Amino acid sequence: MAYLTQPDYVKYICSCGQLKPITNLYFCRHCLKIRCGFCICHEVDSHYCANCLENMPSSEARLKKNRCSSCFACPSCFHTLSTRATLARDPAGGDGKPPKKMYYLSCFNCRWTSRDVGIPDQPVASGGWPERTNPFTSRFNQLLEYYKAIAQQEKQEKLDKERKKFVTRGKYINLTDKTGLTGAMARNIAGLPSSESSSTVISNFVPSQASADVEELPEDYHLKEIDLKQITRMSQRTSCPELQPSLASRLSPRPRALCVKRSQRCRACDHNLTKPEYNPGSVKFKIELLAFYHVPEVKIISYETIKPGGTSALLLKLSNPTAHEMTIRMLQPEDVPDTEEEHKTIEKTLEKSLSLEKDVSWNACFPRRPPPSRAGSVGLPAVSLTLAQRDDAAEYDDEPPGDNDDIILWRKSNKLALRLKLTTDPEARVGTDAYFSFAIQYSYRNTVPPSATVVQHSDHTLYTTVILDLGKVCE
């Protein structure tokens, strides 16, 4: 017998065919489908620093290159650096002035300090740490201006072609033709560079030229002893791509990268599935449509050894996570009715109400996967089971579990345990994965009103398929 509580042994089939545990799935209350990470869109809501919890808009984060201005990471082990204070005494010591407090950066993990690379101490703890300048900054700026000018020129040429195509004598196509506002004046008003400046940047640009002259290596390059403590690792070099220091003495503190709070949206109906709070210190969600809170949860309590052509016992636990009573019926996967027509009707209704054009090209990238081959069948009860609504206070109830018959082992609050029988195929090979599957028909009460005028709740009958991974087939 084995006791399994890990969620990876029980997987649900997503609407796109992916196999995921219930903790990695979402449930859309608008199109009534289970969604996985491939069926949703990710949107960035806000940027923040995970160390100081400073929140900033996207425009400010873009200007700061997605880096925090007050927090630094250790260039050696990449942990957060701490600011430490010390007293700086006068080397002469004859003026009688009290020692001055100075600050430096230190890592509590690898004991790296800013003094190790020659960074002077600062009189203020809030910043002002010197940064090494990139020697290729001017060249990067020239390339950036050059490609911006090319993009602006190509955009202007495209607009001119479209304008000439639809020009008609005596008719004005746009406002600039009627008022006499030229394209140059419109760009100046909008703050965009003019076409003349773009052409000047393109004409004055000096392209890079390859050179055959390569600096020769020193004579003692192959004879000199190597001290690995003074050479940086590859991860340390790539953390600073503009400098890529090869020596440990050239390392410098790196500003910490910003983190993002993201919301997730259903690709089919464009409704939010998760949306966090704007405050970076809050762990709550405004919207949190996880499948764990809407779909009945299945857990494996225990099972017997799986042998070819034999029967074994299986104990399952079913839970109702919703605040409403749920009716469950267990079916074979092939007995699930086709609900595509109902879902298409729901999607068409949502498309009309939202006036959105759906992009279904993502569906071709993730084709529907067939479920794994089953090692046998599960003996399912032919009766419907009723689960009470979720009650957190019932977890601390000392009353013994009720019901005890051939099918229901025990029942307590919103949970019940089932005793099922597994029948393994005689042709199952020893050592192969023992997969068993069944479908669940459950009632779901949707608390989202279909429209602003209709406030009443609607009940639906939904289906989901569960795959049980019971290890290997034994002899």
The answer to whether 264 and 27 have CB atoms below 8 angstroms apart is no
Say if residue 188's pLDDT is above 90: no
Q: Comparing 400 with 420, which gets the higher pLDDT?
A: 420
The answer to whether 255 and 50 have CB atoms below 8 angstroms apart is no
Say if residue 17's pLDDT is above 70: yes
Per-residue pLDDT band at 137 (split at 50, 70, 90): confident
| The predicted structure's pLDDT at residue 186 | 54
- The winner for highest mean pLDDT among 83-97, 165-179, 339-353 is 83-97
The answer to whether 44 and 276 have CB atoms below 8 angstroms apart is no
Q: What is the mean pLDDT of residues 192-200?
A: 66
Give the pLDDT confidence of 140-157 residue by residue, as tens digits: 888 988 998 898 888 888
Q: What is the mean pLDDT of the chain?
A: 80
Per-residue pLDDT band at 107 (split at 50, 70, 90): very high
Q: What is the mean pLDDT of residues 227-255?
A: 88
Task: Determine how many CB atoms are found less than 10 A away from the CB of residue 66.
Answer: 16
Q: What is the mean pLDDT of residues 363-380?
A: 72
Query: Which of 66-75, 93-102, 105-114 shows the lowest mean pLDDT across its residues?
Result: 93-102
The answer to whether 440 and 296 have CB atoms below 8 angstroms apart is yes
Helix (H, G, I), strand (E, B) or coil at 322: coil
Say if residue 473's pLDDT is above 90: no
Give the pLDDT confidence of 280-323 residue by residue, as tens digits: 888 888 888 999 999 999 999 988 888 888 899 999 999 999 98
**Whether pTM exceeds 0.75:** no
Say if residue 441's pLDDT is above 90: yes
Long-range Cβ pairs for the range 210-219 (8 Å, 24+): none
- What percent of the chain has a predicted confidence (pLDDT) above 90? 18
| The predicted structure's pLDDT at residue 158 | 83
Say if residue 26's pLDDT is above 90: yes
Say if residue 355's pLDDT is above 90: no
Per-residue pLDDT band at 463 (split at 50, 70, 90): very high
Say if residue 343's pLDDT is above 90: no
| The predicted structure's pLDDT at residue 465 | 92
Region at 24 (left for phi over 0; alpha for psi -120 to 50; beta for the rest): alpha
| The predicted structure's pLDDT at residue 356 | 41
- What percent of the chain has a predicted confidence (pLDDT) above 70? 79
Q: Comparing 351 with 428, which gets the higher pLDDT?
A: 428
Say if residue 451's pLDDT is above 90: no
| The predicted structure's pLDDT at residue 191 | 52
Residues 6+ apart with CB under 8 A from 153: 195, 198, 199, 202
H/E element, 164: helix 137-165
Give the pLDDT confidence of 372-419 residue by residue, as tens digits: 778 888 888 888 899 988 887 766 666 666 665 678 888 888 899 999
Q: How far apart are CA 354 and CA 2, in angstroms?
A: 50
Query: Which of 115-119, 351-355, 415-419 shows the lowest mean pLDDT across its residues?
Result: 351-355
Per-residue pLDDT band at 354 (split at 50, 70, 90): very low
Q: Comparing 55 with 352, which gets the higher pLDDT?
A: 55
Helices (H), 319-463: 340-354, 362-365
Place of tokens 């790196």: 254
Say if residue 93's pLDDT is above 60: no
Burial of residue 38 (CB within 10 Å: 0-12, 13-18, 19+) is: middle
